[in-house]
Chains A and B, each alone.
Chain A
Amino acid sequence: MAATALSKKKTTKSQKAPPKKKQKNEFFSTKHTATKELSDHSDTEDEEIVQNEDSEGDIGGSDSVSELSSDGDKPFTDDFLQGSEEDEGSKSGSGSDSDSDSDEYDIEKKSRAIDEERAREEQEADEEMQLNIKEESDEFRLPTKEELEEESERPPDLPSIQRRIKEIVRVLTNFKNLKQEGAPRKDYIEQLKKDLASYYGYNDFLIGALVEMFPVVELMELIEAFEKPRPMCLRTNTLKTRRRDLADVLINRGVNLDPLSKWSKVGLVVYDSQVPIGATPEYMAGFYMLQSASSFLPVMALAPQEKDRVVDMAAAPGGKTTYIAALMKNSGIIFANEMKPQRLNSLTANLHRMGVTNTIVSNYDGKQLPKVLGLNSVDRVLLDAPCSGTGVISKDESVKTSKSLEDIQNCAHLQKQLILAAIDMVDANSKSGGYIVYSTCSMMVAENEAVIDYALKKRDVKLVPCGLDFGCPGFIRFREQRFHPSLEKTRRFYPHVHNMDGFFVAKLKKMSNKKPNVDPSDPPENTEEGTRLAENEEEGTRLAKEEVGLSQSVKENSKRERTKLTKEKQDSSDGATGNGNVESLSTASKWKKRKFPSKEDVSKAREEKRQALRAEKRKVKSAS
């Protein structure tokens, strides 16, 4: 500390030397040249001098300081020559020693005294700080209510908040020994949540959710990782070029890049670039696509084969779709669907730019796709579901404050509907597939494991390994929820572990085209049923369409369904349960009777007859 202060003083002194000398005019001209030389040719020498001084200690330093001032004071004929020689040539060591002769003794003494005092002050300050830290670390006290109120009135004091965060983390890791008397763990965690929220800018809900998912030390790593951006990646378009050739061309243009990792043969990571990486002629010719590393993962899990029929349910802006096409080498057929019309432009542009010719682009709501494309008609489906985006906070800071529990629940609801639609489109008997890949860029359990668990209950599917072994396995249990044990085959990716955005990938295989019975007491269904009378109507029309038959497989399916009990038929639509629904369905159908006096009419009448028969049977049984 003393040394750095001294070095600062030295540099300012050398800069101040010319104006200072102006005051003493008689010395000005010649001294000016001397000091100028000093400052000119040895700014580095200055530092060298400083270092030498440091090694020698304060005395040497003060000597060379006094050297400058002393040279100014004296009639400088002899000393000037001597002084300039010393200045130009030598290190300060020999110079200062020879110069600190008796003439400058007083001044030297004074400056030494000043230095000593300064050193003393700094030492005292250090000690004080040590003392403070010691106090805090030995006995970290949670701030009392009064202190908290005081703090909330003042503007937030960031360094102290950060210190407090570090302290609480320390205490929590060794709770038994370091905890304050009478303070439960909960208090510490509450205080930590508040501090994290105010220091990093999160809202309470999100911080609470993250605290529930991660142990404290990992939580800190995660939050720090969210503050920094992930490296930018690009994917080679294997339809047009190879990674090695592309890397050569881009390096020639001045891009600093590396292969992505050993798990990808087409990825490159860009460190920095002299040309805009999104506007090179190679980009425009479709040789590569700018994509984040996490977006490679669902397509690698999907592993589409040549001549497959693939559906991408939420395709814009087209990074994953073009990857699928590249893996399929432009054979087979891809249905790329996107709900928002504004994003369709970028999707078609990317497809054409990358030279993809086997794709049909449509603009539907994903839930309607099974109706349009037919049930059990494709080999693979990729569902990169719209989500809350809590895994990509490093790209979009607004997620920190804008997500609430409602948002997460809405997303989860939508995702459950979409995944059922995805499963319904896949043909379980397809030769080369029957796979659905579900992925989100979120880390919330409600949007990831809960949705997969729901799908496992509602359809005849099972989880299979994704092929991405470097990820963390998904949760099997979380707080009070218990999921199917096969959920450990899903994969989670974190920014602080894998250096990519937060991501979740699950791969399902459809075992058969049947839709199993649904338990009427299942809670999520009741809530869904309440909000989806309209949905039931839609299901009614869909069931009717099945009977008309869009394709062979659909006809078979519907025949199979007709032979089942009617209750099953009702249950096979989402969330249909019990008597309440029968009534609603029948009222809906009655309303429909007026509009469409056709086959639905007949089917409903048939159902009601069967029910009546069954009711009679039950009455007979109970009577007997």
Chain B
Amino acid sequence: MRPLDESETTAVFGKLFKFVGNNLKNIVENPSHEGPDSNPGRYCFRLQKNKVYYVSEALVKRATNIARPNLVSLGTCIGKLTHGGSFHLTVQSLNLLASNAKHKVWLKPTSEMSFLYGNHVLKGALGRITENIAPGDGVVVFSMSDVPLGFGIAAKSTQDCRKLDPNGIVVLHQADIGGYLRMEDDL
């Protein structure tokens, strides 16, 4: 387990910024009530076996006891770093993203299952959409009951979405909670 270096940090923050925008400040400076101490510490990012974890400092301190080959996971995993140095977010970061998301999309109840199988979001499935989405922005997908289902990249801006035909793709699928069942071993 080690802290992230410069390039890794920029990659991670860059990806996060796509989804949460200025709320990134919230994420980094969130007081955490984990850990047995009574004063809340802060959260930090750590790297273990090419996975980036978002952990509170109290946990990090106590995880130093555990040897590197035996440490499996700490706090929340938010994504993986590839060999080439780029960073991909995984579905386990959903809770973190959903609470700080800038761009959101809500799906109709009938089309939830299609997204949970890994398909892209079509125009006909949209219930609501936030304003001012630009193509290439990170979008978090919710159900109509405000349960986060996954996230993806916007394919069209909000204006263009209105003119689209019902089978046009609005959000390109990146990760969804169905992944916990489909790809448990790959997480």
Q: A residues bordering B, Cβ < 8 Å?
A: 278-279, 281-282, 284-286, 307-309, 330-333, 344-349, 351-353, 355, 357-364, 372-374, 379
Find out whether the CB atom of A348 lies under 8 angstroms from the CB atom of B177: no
Given A358-B59, A360-B66, A364-B70, the answer on whether A348 and B77 have CB atoms closer than 8 Å is yes
CA distance A351 to B147 in the complex (A): 18
Find out whether the CB atom of B36 lies under 8 angstroms from the CB atom of A308: yes
Looking at B119-127, B132-140, B166-174, B178-186, the stretch in contact with chain A turns out to be: B178-186
Give chain B residues whose Cβ lies under 8 Å from the Cβ of A281: 112-113, 116, 143, 147, 149, 177
Which residues between 74 and 130 of chain B lie within 8 Å of chain A, taking CB atoms?
A: 74-77, 92, 95, 112-113, 116
Find out whether the CB atom of B34 lies under 8 angstroms from the CB atom of A360: no
| B63, chain A: closest CB distance, angstroms | 5
Q: Tell me which of A279, A282, A330 contacts B33 (CB under 8 A).
A: A330
Give chain B residues whose Cβ lies under 8 Å from the Cβ of A360: 59, 62-63, 66, 71, 73-75
CA distance A379 to B36 in the complex (A): 10
Find out whether the CB atom of A331 lies under 8 angstroms from the CB atom of B33: yes
Find out whether the CB atom of A332 lies under 8 angstroms from the CB atom of B36: yes
Q: Is the interface of A mostly helix, strand, loop or mixed?
A: mixed
CA distance A139 to B177 in the complex (A): 67
Nearest to A348 among chain B residues (CB) is B73
Query: Please, could you name 8 A-B residue pairs with CB atoms under 8 Å apart, sorted by A?
Result: A278-B181, A307-B35, A308-B36, A331-B33, A332-B36, A352-B76, A352-B180, A361-B73
Find out whether the CB atom of B35 lies under 8 angstroms from the CB atom of A332: yes
What number of residue pairs across chains A and B have CB atoms under 8 A from each other?
102
Q: Tell me which of B58, B70, B92, B149 contacts A362 (CB under 8 A).
A: B70
**Residue among A278, A286, A362, A372 having the largest count of chain B Cβ atoms under 10 Å:** A362
Nearest to A287 among chain B residues (CB) is B147
Give chain A residues whose Cβ lies under 8 Å from the Cβ of B149: 281, 285
Find out whether the CB atom of B65 lies under 8 angstroms from the CB atom of A373: yes
CA distance A353 to B58 in the complex (A): 22
Nearest to B150 among chain A residues (CB) is A284
Give chain A residues whose Cβ lies under 8 Å from the Cβ of B7: none
CA distance A379 to B62 in the complex (A): 14
Query: At the interface, yes or no: B187 with Cβ under 8 Å from chain A?
Result: yes
Q: Tell me which of A333, A355, A361, A373 contacts B34 (CB under 8 A).
A: A333
CA distance A352 to B56 in the complex (A): 15
Nearest to B93 among chain A residues (CB) is A352
Query: At the interface, yes or no: B148 with Cβ under 8 Å from chain A?
Result: yes
Find out whether the CB atom of A349 lies under 8 angstroms from the CB atom of B75: no
Given A281-B149, A352-B77, the answer on whether A357 and B34 have CB atoms closer than 8 Å is yes
| A532, chain B: closest CB distance, angstroms | 23
Find out whether the CB atom of A285 lies under 8 angstroms from the CB atom of B59: no
Give chain A residues whose Cβ lies under 8 Å from the Cβ of B184: 345-346, 349
Query: At the interface, yes or no: B26 with Cβ under 8 Å from chain A?
Result: no
Give chain B residues whose Cβ lies under 8 Å from the Cβ of A372: 65-67, 70
CA distance A240 to B64 in the complex (A): 30
CA distance A330 to B149 in the complex (A): 22
Nearest to B184 among chain A residues (CB) is A349
CA distance A363 to B67 in the complex (A): 10
12 A-B pairs besides A309-B36, A349-B180, A362-B70 with CB distance below 8 A are: A284-B116, A284-B177, A284-B180, A307-B36, A333-B34, A333-B35, A351-B73, A357-B76, A360-B75, A362-B71, A363-B72, A372-B67
Find out whether the CB atom of B70 lies under 8 angstroms from the CB atom of A363: yes
Nearest to A430 among chain B residues (CB) is B36
The bracket for how many chain B residues form the interface is 35 or more
Find out whether the CB atom of B95 lies under 8 angstroms from the CB atom of A355: yes
CA distance A270 to B92 in the complex (A): 28
| B150, chain A: closest CB distance, angstroms | 10
CA distance A523 to B114 in the complex (A): 64
Give chain A residues whose Cβ lies under 8 Å from the Cβ of B65: 372-374
Find out whether the CB atom of B72 lies under 8 angstroms from the CB atom of A352: no
Q: Tell me which of A285, A361, A363 contacts B177 (CB under 8 A).
A: A285
Nearest to B112 among chain A residues (CB) is A281
Question: What 0/1 pattern do residues 1 to 43 of B give for CB contact below 8 A with A?
Answer: 0000000000000000000000000000000011110100000
Given A285-B177, A307-B36, A344-B72, the answer on whether A352 and B92 have CB atoms closer than 8 Å is yes
Find out whether the CB atom of B75 lies under 8 angstroms from the CB atom of A345: no
CA distance A286 to B181 in the complex (A): 12
Nearest to B185 among chain A residues (CB) is A345
| B138, chain A: closest CB distance, angstroms | 19
Find out whether the CB atom of B59 lies under 8 angstroms from the CB atom of A333: yes
CA distance A448 to B8 in the complex (A): 51
Give chain B residues whose Cβ lies under 8 Å from the Cβ of A309: 36
**Residue among B56, B66, B178 having the largest count of chain A Cβ atoms under 10 Å:** B66
Nearest to B76 among chain A residues (CB) is A357
Give chain A residues whose Cβ lies under 8 Å from the Cβ of B72: 344, 347-348, 361-363
Nearest to B109 among chain A residues (CB) is A281
CA distance A358 to B32 in the complex (A): 10
Q: Tell me which of A307, A358, A374 contacts B38 (CB under 8 A).
A: A307
**Residue among A285, A357, A373 having the largest count of chain B Cβ atoms under 10 Å:** A357
Find out whether the CB atom of A349 lies under 8 angstroms from the CB atom of B74: no
Give chain B residues whose Cβ lies under 8 Å from the Cβ of A286: 177
CA distance A358 to B75 in the complex (A): 6
| B67, chain A: closest CB distance, angstroms | 7
| B178, chain A: closest CB distance, angstroms | 6
Nearest to A278 among chain B residues (CB) is B181
**Residue among A307, A309, A331, A358 having the largest count of chain B Cβ atoms under 10 Å:** A358
CA distance A170 to B75 in the complex (A): 60
Given A333-B59, A344-B72, A348-B77, the answer on whether A358 and B35 have CB atoms closer than 8 Å is yes
| A252, chain B: closest CB distance, angstroms | 10
Give chain B residues whose Cβ lies under 8 Å from the Cβ of A359: 73-75
Find out whether the CB atom of B147 lies under 8 angstroms from the CB atom of A285: yes
Nearest to A328 among chain B residues (CB) is B34
Q: Tell me which of B58, B71, B77, B177 contacts A333 (CB under 8 A).
A: B58
Give chain A residues whose Cβ lies under 8 Å from the Cβ of B113: 281
CA distance A279 to B113 in the complex (A): 11
| A264, chain B: closest CB distance, angstroms | 24
Find out whether the CB atom of A333 lies under 8 angstroms from the CB atom of B36: yes
Nearest to B33 among chain A residues (CB) is A331
CA distance A243 to B31 in the complex (A): 29
| A541, chain B: closest CB distance, angstroms | 15
What 10 pairs between A and B have smallest CB-CB spacing?
A284-B177, A352-B92, A361-B73, A361-B72, A358-B34, A348-B73, A360-B74, A363-B70, A349-B184, A362-B66
| A546, chain B: closest CB distance, angstroms | 15
Find out whether the CB atom of A284 lies under 8 angstroms from the CB atom of B181: yes
CA distance A357 to B33 in the complex (A): 10
Nearest to B72 among chain A residues (CB) is A361
Given A331-B34, A332-B34, the answer on whether A349 and B187 have CB atoms closer than 8 Å is yes
